[in-house]
Structure formats: structure tokens, C-alpha cells
């Protein structure tokens, strides 16, 4: 059907060219609001009618006549019908719908993917400071960033996943002093415990390993503890390495990897911060007032000018952000996507302003942002706010331990990133159709069960697909054909939640088919054709789940007693 649709688009473009030479609109199909109206809709006649000053229904009829002269329409279209003020509803021939099965099976894991385009994209995500365990917000960030990276790769982009973290500054100092207090035997609540300190049990774990002179190794660093309670710099470095190692373990358990780690401290040691400030001053985009250095961000749409360097000589946090993004641009990444919490919304305008003002030709929309809201965790009907290990929040590891990696990844992507989301642990544990990830994975497992029972010829490429004529088969094949366009749209809009919506719709179309028809029938050609459709459906389910980083199991159990083998026996 993908080939059929491409040929039909070309036919539509040719027909529009006949009606309006030199001024024809771009050829495009839309989805009818109701399935009963047809498979595809054409609205071009109404737009053309205004420009050509003709009756839209008469123009629609002329367009239908022109389309009917096109070989692709004669091959792939069953009927063209004019409706309303000039809509054209197109009903595909069965062969057009059936062709999707062979297309999916022929492409396999590559179905929906485009060839390499040469475009280089950087996606920066998670970027958690190494001061504690990853919380559920980091989990949503990780799920979004990884899925967006996967989506962009399906469209042929070369994607670099980057993790940026603060390895210096006040938070690291607080981490060091908190750990040192634990090393010296203090605990939260004791006299002498700092008011600004990290109170979670993980600090005690770090202190114990420091005293034991252990060596910790993270993806980007390694450090051996001295065991000296007075070695505050060593304690801080050990704590950072320890927590980076913990974050690495959490992210591996979550199935997330990174290609590169970027240290905030390097922006200072490499002179990038100073160089960026000098560039902005030289460009005439700064001014001094009250002993501080300001950037004229209002020239670039910000609501007020921003302080760059405070009167005490220290830089505000957005200055290293600008320097960091200059480095991204100079590393050859014209497209950069940052996945950050909505609390960073105020930094978007000032960072972009700084990048435009620096005079390197960085475009106004650089970088792109995917902003997400934090989540609420519910368990046993109650909101969960505190993790004993973290001391003040629910960790990503808590969610994985309570449910599963697959459930956490699917759930955290299942809503638009900028909407609030409640993670219901009890729902994620249900083995029934209420649980969306179970519902989708069970569709794949159900298909695998039926395919395992099939004893006929397994050369599905030679199956007689013309036997697939049932209404539920047509609906399922149309849904399969939507997959490549859905991926393209989701990648362009940085919207991995579209993949979860599609998966639920595809699973629903399969479950409807499963309830309506028998597969292991005595009619061998029909059984073989249906096995081909099932195999194609399993392939697309697997491909879509892979974009989310979720597995496609081949067997599952559920609460309902009727399993795939029993229902289809």
C-alpha cells in the first residue's frame, strides 16, 4: 500500500496539473473523519475553486475525471465519490490494501525506516547533576530523550546522545560536605549537621565506601578513595564518581545509553566561558550597570535584559549554557535538541538570544527544546512522595523495581511531554486490557502463539493475499500502512507519544481481528494468507515498540483464562 499511495499521489499531482497548470496545489491525501466515507480524502477541489472562480462540485467532478484517466488510479482505486461541497472520497481496491503485507514482510526490521540522510543531530537529555539518585523526573527525561533519538534515527539521521552534567559549583560542595559529615559519624538531626545538606541514605553508603578506600568507576571517570575524613576535595570527587556510577547502573537498567559525556567544568578549563563573554562584548551586545555585566537579550525577543556576570565576579548560570551551545554548534551540529523540565522554560529565550548575539551565524531557533512536566506517582491509591534511599523523592529505580522497565518506559512516553502525568503503579502491574503496555505486548505474544501453532507452508512471501477480504482484515492492513507516515510525523514534531497512541490503535485492530476471524482454518491458502497478515502485524508491533525501547515478548500470561492457543484451537 505504501507503493500504491506514492503512485496515487503522483497521479493526483498530474491531475491537479491538468486542472490548474502552473498553479496547482501540492498533492495530498487526508484521512476521512469516518471510516465509512472511504480510505482517503481529497480536499483540493474546494481550494482550487476559489482561485479558479468555479463551482467546487463541478471542479471536483473534473478532478475525478482527470484522476480516472491515470493508470495508477485504474490499478489501485475501487471508487472515487464526490461528497458535500466538493470533497472527494477515495476507496482503495483490495489489492492496494493487501500489498502492505508483502511490503512489511519484505522490509522486516527496516519497515518504516528511511535511508541515511547524512544529517547529524545531537540530543542532550537526562543531564542530571551527580548529587543523588535519578528521580522519576529524570526517568521521564530519559524515556523521552531516548525515544526521540530513536525516532530521528528512523528518519535517516545520525544521532549523538549527550549527557551534560555539573561537576563543580555549590551543589558539588554541598555533596562533599554532606558526605564528609557522614564519614565523621554525623547523621541528619545531629548537632553540627549542615542545614543545607543531602539527607538520603545514599550519602551514608558513599561515606562507608569512602572509609573502606574503595575504587568506583563510572562511564566517564574512575576514583579511589583515600579514606581520610579530612580529605574534603577527595571526598567530593569520590562522591561524584560514586553517584555517576549509580546513575550509569540506573540508566543501563532502563535501557538507555549515551555516546558522550560533557562536563560543565571543561567550559571553564578550556576557556570557552571567557571566550563567549569576550565575543558578546566585542559584538556590542553587553553593557555594565550596578557593577554587573548585562546582555541585551531584549534585542532578541526576551522580556528583559539579563545579567551575565554578577558584581562579585561570578557568572550567572545561563552564561555557561550559552558557551556549551556554542560548543555544540562548533562541533558541527546544526540541529540540537534539549530535553529539559518545564522549569527551564525561562532559559530558552535568553540562551537563544546569547547564541544569536555571539556573532557566529547561529540560527534563531537553535537549539530545539522538548520540555516536560514532572510526574505524580500513585501506589495503593495513595500518592508516593518519599523514597527512603533518596530521602525526599521517588527514584527511577523505585519505579523499575515496583513494575518493570517496559512499563516505566511505555507509561512515561504515553502522554505529551508538556502535560502532567500520573504514574499509577497498580495499573502498570495489571495483566489485563486496562494496562496499555500489557495490551500492546499481549497482541504481539498472541500472534506469536498462533504462528507457533501453524503447521502449514511458512513461505509467507508467496501467500495469496487476495484472500484477505474480511472487514477486520482491511482495517488492520490500513493501520499497518499508517506506520511510516506516523514515524515521520512523530520525529518532525518530537512527539514519541504518537507512537504509543499508534501502538494502542494497532493492538486494538488486531484484537478485533482476532475476535472476528479464525486463523488455523482447513482452507490452506486462506490460513497461509492470514498467517502472513499476522506476521506483518507482529513485525510492525515490534518495530514500533523498539522505538520506545520496549520489548516485544513472544509469550505472556494474563488474568483471563482464555489464552491464544485455547481461543484459536
Read off the pLDDT of residues 477-519 as tens digits, 9 standing for 90 and up: 999 999 999 999 999 999 999 999 999 999 999 999 999 999 9
Q: Is the pLDDT of residue 94 over 90?
A: yes
3-state secondary structure of 422: strand
pLDDT at position 387? 60
Residue 233 has a CB neighbour count (10 Å cut-off) of 9
pLDDT at position 554? 95
CATH second-level architecture of 431-568?
Orthogonal Bundle (1.10)
C-alpha cell at 119: 544529517
Distance CA 430, CA 199 (A): 34
Q: Is the pLDDT of residue 388 over 60?
A: no
3-state secondary structure of 294: strand
pLDDT at position 167? 85
Taking Cα atoms as reference points, which of 259, 272, 266, 273 lies closest to residue 163? 259
DSSP state of 74: H
Alpha helices (H) along 190-271? 201-211, 232-253, 264-269
Distance CA 340, CA 127 (A): 9
pLDDT at position 305? 93
Distance CA 342, CA 330 (A): 27
Distance CA 389, CA 203 (A): 9
Rg (CA), the chain: 29
The set of long-range contacts for 560-568, using a CB threshold of 8 Å and a minimum separation of 24, is 560/432, 563/449, 564/445, 564/446, 564/447, 564/449, 564/450, 565/449, 565/453, 567/514, 568/449, 568/450, 568/453, 568/518, 568/519, 568/520
What mean pLDDT is predicted for residues 434-459? 95
Residue 560's pLDDT band (cuts 50, 70, 90): very low
Domain layout of the chain by residue ranges: 2-92, 125-268+373-429, 431-568
Helix (H) or strand (E) holding 42: strand 40-42
CATH topology for 2-92 is Gyrase A; domain 2 (3.30.1360)
Q: Helix 170-183 crosses helix 232-253 at what angle (to 10 degrees)?
A: 100
3-state secondary structure of 308: strand
Burial class, 525, CB count within 10 angstroms (exposed 0-12 / middle 13-18 / buried 19+): middle
Q: Are 413 and 143 in contact (CB under 8 A)?
A: yes
Q: Is the pLDDT of residue 458 over 80?
A: yes
Q: Are 468 and 92 in contact (CB under 8 A)?
A: no
Helix, strand, coil content of the chain in percent (nearest 5): 50, 15, 35
C-alpha cell at 303: 522580556
What mean pLDDT is predicted for residues 223-241? 96
Phi/psi-derived region of residue 461, left when phi > 0, alpha when psi is between -120 and 50, beta in every other case: alpha
Taking Cα atoms as reference points, which of 406, 369, 438, 370 lies closest to residue 548? 406
pLDDT at position 46? 85
pLDDT tens-digit profile of 185-226?
Answer: 999 999 999 998 998 889 999 999 999 999 999 988 899 999
pLDDT tens-digit profile of 511-536?
Answer: 999 999 999 999 999 999 999 999 99
Taking Cα atoms as reference points, which of 63, 119, 141 lies closest to residue 342? 141
Q: Is the pLDDT of residue 422 over 60?
A: yes
Lowest mean pLDDT among 65-79, 389-403, 522-536: 389-403
3-state secondary structure 11-34: HHHHHHHHHCCCCCCCCCCECCCC
Q: How would DSSP label each residue in 333-399?
A: -SEEEEEEEGGGHHHHHHHHHHHHHTTS---TTPSEEEEE--EEEEETTEEE---TTTSSS-BHHHH
Q: Is the pLDDT of residue 567 over 50?
A: no
Distance, first Cα to last Cα, the chain = 32
pLDDT at position 165? 87
DSSP state of 261: E
C-alpha cell at 527: 490460513
Residue 118's pLDDT band (cuts 50, 70, 90): very high
Q: Are 378 and 423 in contact (CB under 8 A)?
A: yes
C-alpha cell at 267: 567550559
Positive/negative CA dihedral, 104, 552, 407, 121 = negative
pLDDT at position 558? 65
Helix (H) or strand (E) holding 146: helix 136-154
Distance CA 11, CA 27 (A): 9
| pTM exceeding 0.75 | yes
Superfamily of domain 125-268+373-429: HUPs (3.40.50.620)
Q: Tell me the average pLDDT of the chain.
A: 92
Amino acid at each position: 500500500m505504501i507503493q500504491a499511495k506514492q503512485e496515487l499521489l503522483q497521479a493526483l499531482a498530474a491531475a491537479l496539473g491538468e486542472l490548474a497548470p502552473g498553479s496547482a496545489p501540492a498533492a495530498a491525501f487526508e484521512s476521512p473523519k469516518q471510516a465509512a466515507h472511504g480510505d482517503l480524502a481529497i480536499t483540493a477541489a474546494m481550494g482550487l475553486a476559489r482561485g479558479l472562480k468555479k463551482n467546487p462540485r463541478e471542479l471536483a467532478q473534473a478532478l475525478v475525471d482527470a484522476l480516472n484517466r491515470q493508470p495508477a488510479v485504474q490499478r489501485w482505486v475501487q471508487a472515487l465519490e464526490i461528497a458535500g461541497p466538493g470533497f472527494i472520497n477515495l476507496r482503495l481496491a483490495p489489492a492496494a490494501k493487501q500489498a502492505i503485507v508483502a511490503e512489511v514482510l519484505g522490509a522486516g526490521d527496516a519497515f518504516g525506516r528511511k535511508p541515511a540522510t547524512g544529517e547529524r543531530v545531537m540530543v542532550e537529555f537526562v543531564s542530571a547533576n551527580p548529587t543523588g539518585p535519578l528521580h522519576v523526573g529524570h526517568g521521564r527525561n530519559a524515556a523521552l530523550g531516548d525515544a526521540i533519538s530513536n525516532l530521528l534515527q528512523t528518519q535517516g539521521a545520525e544521532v549523538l546522545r549527550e549527557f551534560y552534567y555539573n561537576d563543580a559549583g555549590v551543589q558539588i560542595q554541598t555533596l562533599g560536605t554532606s558526605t564528609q559529615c557522614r564519614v565523621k559519624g554525623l547523621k541528619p538531626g545531629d548537632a553540627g549537621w549542615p542545614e543545607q545538606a543531602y539527607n538520603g541514605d545514599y550519602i551514608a553508603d558513599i561515606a562507608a565506601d569512602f572509609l573502606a578506600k574503595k575504587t568506583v568507576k563510572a562511564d566517564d571517570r574512575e576514583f579511589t578513595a583515600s579514606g581520610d575524613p579530612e580529605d574534603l576535595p577527595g571526598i567530593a570527587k569520590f562522591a561524584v564518581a560514586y553517584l555517576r556510577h549509580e546513575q550509569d547502573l540506573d540508566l543501563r537498567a532502563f535501557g538507555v545509553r549515551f555516546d558522550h559525556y560533557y562536563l560543565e567544568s571543561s567550559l571553564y578549563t578550556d576557556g570557552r566561558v571567557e571566550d563567549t563573554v569576550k565575543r558578546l562584548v566585542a559584538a556590542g551586545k553587553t553593557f555594565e550597570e550596578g557593577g554587573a555585566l548585562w546582555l541585551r537579550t531584549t534585542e532578541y525577543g526576551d522580556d528583559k535584559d539579563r545579567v551575565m556576570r554578577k558584581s562579585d565576579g561570578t557568572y550567572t548560570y545561563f552564561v555557561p549554557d550559552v558557551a556549551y551551545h556554542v560548543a555544540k554548534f562548533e562541533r558541527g551540529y546544526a540541529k540540537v535538541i534539549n530535553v529539559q523540565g518545564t522549569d527551564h522554560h525561562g532559559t530558552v529565550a535568553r540562551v537563544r538570544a546569547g547564541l544569536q548575539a555571539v556573532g557566529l551565524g547561529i540560527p534563531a531557533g537553535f537549539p530545539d527544546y522538548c520540555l516536560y512536566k514532572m510526574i505524580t506517582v500513585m501506589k495503593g491509591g495513595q500518592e508516593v512522595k518519599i523514597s527512603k534511599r533518596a530521602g525526599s523523592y521517588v527514584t527511577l529505580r523505585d519505579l523499575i523495581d515496583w513494575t518493570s522497565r517496559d512499563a516505566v518506559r511505555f507509561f512515561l512516553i504515553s502522554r505529551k511531554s508538556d502535560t502532567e502525568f500520573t504514574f499509577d503503579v497498580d495499573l502498570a502491574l495489571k495483566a489485563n486490557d486496562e494496562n496499555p503496555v500489557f495490551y500492546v505486548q499481549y497482541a504481539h505474544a498472541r500472534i506469536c502463539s498462533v504462528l507457533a501453532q501453524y503447521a502449514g507452508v511458512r513461505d509467507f512471501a508467496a501467500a495469496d493475499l487476495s484472500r484477505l477480504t474480511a472487514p477486520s482484515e482491511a482495517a488492520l492492513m490500513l493501520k499497518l500502512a499508517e506506520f511510516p507516515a506516523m514515524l515521520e510525523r512523530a520525529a518532525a514534531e518530537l512527539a514519541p507519544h504518537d507512537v504509543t497512541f499508534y501502538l494502542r490503535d494497532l493492538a486494538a485492530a488486531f484484537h478485533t481481528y482476532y475476535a472476528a476471524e479464525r486463523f488455523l482454518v482447513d482452507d490452506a491458502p486462506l490460513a497461509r494468507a492470514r498467517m502472513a497478515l499476522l506476521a506483518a502485524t507482529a513485525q510492525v508491533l515490534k518495530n514500533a515498540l523498539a522505538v520506545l525501547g520496549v520489548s516485544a515478548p513472544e509469550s505472556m500470561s494474563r488474568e483471563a483464562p482464555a489464552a491464544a492457543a485455547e481461543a484459536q484451537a
